[in-house]
C-alpha cells in the first residue's frame, strides 16, 4: 500500500511540474509575440537576414524566433516540436534539447528555452509520443514507456545535429522530472552526443514504484490503468521493473547540473545518490522549492542557475582576453551623468553599477563599482540577480545624491528598482560612502503589466519628485514619490507606448512587441521633455535602437510629439537613429551643464563591429525642440 501511495504522489507531483497554474504561459503557436511558423519538413528554410529585419521591419523584430519543426521517430511516428532560435552572429549556435515530465508537454521547459534564447543559445522543445493526454505528437499514452521516450530524444538529437546552423559539438540535453530520468539514461547510452547534461528535479525514483504498480495491473487483468488522469499500459512498468538507473547513469562523463527544491518529496534520496555517480556534477538546491517550482521565484532562481551552467559549458573555447579600458572612447551601456565641484561623473550598467569620472568630458577615468557589496534585498524579488545592475539614474536633492538602479531578469518583468544615497560623488572624499536604502518599486509576471527597470527621477517646479520607468509590456510609467524620494504615491500610469495598447499581448511572462524603454524627463523653458528609446538594443551591429522625444506643459503629461500626437498613443519624434557610424543610438540622458546642453547615450559602433560606445554630444534647441549640434 505504501508504494502505491508513493506512485500516486509521484504522478501528482510530476503533473504539477507542467501545470504550474501560477505562471501564465502563452502558446508560441499563433498567440503572444513569438508566433510559430509551421514547417512541413524537418529542416529550416534559408536563414533569416536579421540585419535587414532589424532595420526595415521593426514592427516584427523579436529577440528570437520560434519555428515549428517536426521529427520522425524510429517507428514512424510524428514528433511535434519547436525551435527557439536566437538572433546571433554565430554561424553555428549551441543548442539544448529539452524533455518534459510525465503527462506534460513542451510548456514545461518553455521558460528555460526563452531565457536561453535571450542569451544566444538555441533550444528545441517537443512533446513525447504518447507522453500526455495533450501531446501534439502521435502515439498513445498506453504505448509510452521510459524507453520509447529515450528513443524520441535520440531521434531528435540526430535531427538537430544535422542542421547546418547548429554546432554539433555544443549540444546539451535537459530533462524535467520523468524527462530528467529519460535524459540521464539517454546521456549514459550516448555519452559522446552531449556536451553537458541538465537534470531539473529528476525523478530517478520512478522505477522503485514498478513492483506495486504491476500488482495493480495484474489485479485488473492487465488492463490499462489510469494514473493521475492518464492511462498507462502494463508495459510502462514492465520496462522499468527491477531497474536501478543509478547503475548506469555514471557512464556519462561530461558536465552535469542538477537543480531541485529542498521540499521536493519526489527527488528525495535519488538525487544525492545520483550526484555521487557523476564525475563532474554541480547541484543547485532551491530553498523552499517543491517539485516543479510552483513558486515563480523558485522557478526563476533555478532558471538563472540553468542559464549560467549552459552558457559556461556550451561556450566556445577562448584564449586569454583582457578588456582594456579606452579612456577616450569607453564601452558603456545606459549612461547618466552628474557634475560636482567642477568634475563630471558618469554611471552605467555594470557589476554593482559602473562609474567613471572626467575633468573635461573627453578623457574618462574608471572608478570602483558603486554598490559594493551588492544589495542583498534584491535577491528576494529578483532571484536571478547576482550583482549585474542595470540602467542607473543620479539626482541631487538638497545636500544628498540619490542613485536609482535596476535589478532584473533579461526579457522578463521580474524586476525591482532600488536607491542608494551619498553625500558626495568624489571617491577621494572622506565623506564618500554609498548607503543602500532598499527597494522603491517592483514588478512581477502576471501581476504588473509593466517592468520596473530604467528609472529616472525629476523634481517638478512645485518641488514634487516623480519616478518614470519602464521597458516593453505597457510601456513607460510615471508615479509620484513621497518626499522621502523612495515611496510611490499612488499607482503608476502609462505615459508612452511604442504600440497601441490593443495590439500587444499583456500580462505575459516575457517581453512583448511594445519596444519602448529608457525614459528620461528634463525641463526647459516651460516644457517637460520626455526622451525614450524605441526598438531593440543589445544586438551589436544588428541593434536598431532609436531615441524619440515629446513634450508637455505638465510633468504628468500628456507628452506630444512635433505633430501633436500623444506618446501614450504611439507618438514620438525620432531624434537619433541609425547613422553612417552607428547601427542605433539610445538609452539617453540629457543635461544642462553651465548653460550648455548635452545628450549622453550609447551607440552600436559599426566601425568596431557593433561595440556599445559612449555617444556624448552637445544639444541645441530650435523652435522648442532638441537637435544634435554639428
What pLDDT does residue 484 have?
Answer: 96
pLDDT per residue as tens digits for the range 435-463 = 999 999 999 998 999 999 999 999 999 99
Residues lower than pLDDT 70 in the chain: 1-63, 317-323
Q: Is 220 a catalytic residue?
A: no
Active site residue 517: yes
Cα separation, 2 vs 258, in Å, equals 28
Encode pLDDT of 473-487 as tens digits: 999 999 999 999 999
Looking at 334, 454, 535, 605, which residue is catalytic? Answer: 334
- Find all residues with CB under 8 Å of 257, minimum gap 6, and list them: 196, 197, 198, 199, 281, 282, 283, 284, 305, 306, 309
- pLDDT value, residue 17: 37
Task: Say which residues have a Cβ less than 8 Å from residue 575's Cβ, sequence separation at least 6.
Answer: 531, 547, 548, 549, 626, 627, 628
For residue range 599-616, what is the model confidence (pLDDT) as tens digits?
Answer: 999 999 999 888 899 999
pLDDT of residue 458: 98
Out of 155, 517, 566, 578, the active site residue is: 517
How far apart are alpha carbons 461 and 358 in whole angstroms? 30
Ordered domains of the chain (ranges, CATH): 2-313 (3.40.50.1820), 336-628 (2.115.10.20)
pLDDT the model gives residue 269: 74
Pairwise CA distance, residues 65 & 597, whole Å: 41
Helix, strand, coil abundance in the chain, percent, nearest 5: 20, 35, 45
Residue 232 confidence (pLDDT)? 96
What pLDDT shows up at residue 601? 97
- Summarised one tens digit per residue, pLDDT across range 363-400 is 999 999 999 999 999 999 998 888 999 999 999 999 99
pLDDT at 145: 97
Residue 531 burial (CB count, 10 A): 27
Amino acid at each position: 500500500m505504501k508504494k502505491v501511495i508513493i506512485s500516486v504522489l509521484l504522478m501528482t507531483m510530476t503533473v504539477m511540474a507542467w501545470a504550474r497554474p501560477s505562471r501564465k504561459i502563452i502558446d508560441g503557436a499563433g498567440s503572444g509575440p513569438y508566433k510559430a511558423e509551421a514547417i512541413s519538413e524537418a529542416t529550416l528554410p534559408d536563414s533569416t537576414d536579421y540585419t535587414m529585419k532589424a532595420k526595415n521591419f521593426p514592427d516584427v523584430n523579436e529577440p528570437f524566433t520560434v519555428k515549428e519543426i517536426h521529427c520522425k521517430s524510429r517507428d514512424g511516428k510524428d514528433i511535434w516540436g519547436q525551435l527557439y532560435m536566437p538572433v546571433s552572429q554565430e554561424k553555428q549556435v549551441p543548442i539544448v534539447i529539452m524533455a518534459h515530465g510525465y503527462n506534460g508537454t513542451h510548456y514545461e521547459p518553455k521558460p528555460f528555452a526563452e531565457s536561453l534564447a535571450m542569451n544566444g543559445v538555441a533550444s528545441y522543445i517537443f512533446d513525447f509520443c504518447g507522453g500526455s493526454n495533450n501531446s501534439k505528437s502521435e502515439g498513445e499514452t498506453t504505448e509510452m514507456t521510459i524507453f520509447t521516450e529515450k528513443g524520441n530524444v535520440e531521434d531528435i538529437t540526430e535531427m538537430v545535429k544535422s542542421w547546418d546552423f547548429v554546432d554539433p559539438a555544443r549540444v546539451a540535453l535537459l530533462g524535467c522530472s520523468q524527462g530528467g530520468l529519460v535524459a540521464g539514461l539517454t546521456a549514459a547510452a550516448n555519452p559522446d552526443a552531449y556536451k553537458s547534461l541538465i537534470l531539473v528535479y529528476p525523478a530517478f525514483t520512478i522505477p522503485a514504484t514498478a513492483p506495486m504498480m504491476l500488482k495493480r495491473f495484474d489485479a485488473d487483468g492487465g488492463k490499462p490503468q489510469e494514473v493521475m488522469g492518464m492511462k498507462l499500459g502494463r508495459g510502462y512498468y514492465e520496462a522499468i521493473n527491477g531497474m536501478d538507473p543509478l547503475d548506469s547513469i555514471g557512464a556519462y562523463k561530461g558536465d552535469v547540473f542538477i537543480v531541485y527544491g529542498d521540499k521536493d518529496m519526489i527527488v528525495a534520496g535519488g538525487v544525492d545518490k545520483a550526484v555521487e555517480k557523476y564525475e563532474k556534477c554541480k547541484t543547485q538546491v532551491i530553498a523552499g522549492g517543491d517539485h516543479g517550482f510552483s513558486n515563480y521565484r523558485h522557478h526563476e532562481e533555478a532558471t538563472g542557475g540553468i542559464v549560467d551552467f549552459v552558457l559556461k559549458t556550451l561556450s566556445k573555447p577562448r584564449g586569454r582576453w583582457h578588456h582594456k579600458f579606452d579612456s577616450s572612447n569607453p564601452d558603456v551601456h545606459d549612461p547618466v551623468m552628474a557634475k560636482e565641484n567642477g568634475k563630471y561623473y558618469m554611471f552605467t550598467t555594470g557589476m554593482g553599477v559602473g562609474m567613471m569620472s572626467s575633468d573635461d568630458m573627453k578623457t574618462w577615468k574608471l572608478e570602483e563599482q558603486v554598490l559594493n557589496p551588492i544589495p542583498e534585498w534584491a535577491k528576494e524579488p529578483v532571484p536571478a540577480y547576482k550583482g549585474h545592475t542595470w540602467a542607473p539614474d543620479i539626482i541631487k536633492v538638497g545636500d544628498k545624491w540619490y542613485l536609482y538602479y535596476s535589478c532584473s531578469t533579461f526579457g522578463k518583468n521580474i524586476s525591482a528598482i532600488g536607491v542608494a544615497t551619498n553625500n558626495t560623488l568624489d571617491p577621494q572624499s572622506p565623506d564618500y560612502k554609498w548607503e543602500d536604502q532598499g527597494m522603491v518599486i517592483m514588478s512581477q509576471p502576471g501581476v504588473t503589466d509593466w517592468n520596473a527597470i530604467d528609472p529616472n527621477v525629476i523634481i517638478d517646479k512645485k518641488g514634487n519628485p516623480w519616478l518614470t520607468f519602464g521597458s516593453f509590456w505597457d510601456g513607460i510609467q510615471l508615479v509620484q514619490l513621497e518626499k522621502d524620494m523612495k515611496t510611490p504615491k499612488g499607482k503608476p500610469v502609462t505615459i508612452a507606448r511604442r504600440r497601441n495598447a490593443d495590439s500587444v499581448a499583456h500580462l505575459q511572462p516575457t517581453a512583448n512587441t511594445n519596444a519602448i524603454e529608457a525614459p528620461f524627463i528634463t525641463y526647459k523653458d516651460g516644457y517637460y521633455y520626455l526622451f525614450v528609446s524605441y526598438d531593440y538594443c543589445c544586438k551589436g551591429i544588428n541593434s536598431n535602437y532609436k531615441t524619440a522625444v515629446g513634450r508637455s506643459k505638465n510633468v504628468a503629461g500628456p507628452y506630444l510629439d512635433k505633430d501633436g500626437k500623444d506618446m501614450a498613443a504611439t507618438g514620438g519624434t525620432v531624434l537619433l537613429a541609425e547613422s553612417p557610424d552607428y547601427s542605433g543610438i539610445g538609452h539617453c540622458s540629457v543635461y544642462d551643464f553651465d548653460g550648455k546642453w548635452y545628450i549622453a547615450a550609447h551607440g552600436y559602433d559599426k566601425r568596431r563591429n557593433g561595440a556599445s560606445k559612449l555617444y556624448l554630444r552637445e544639444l541645441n534647441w530650435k523652435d522648442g525642440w532638441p537637435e544634435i549640434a554639428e
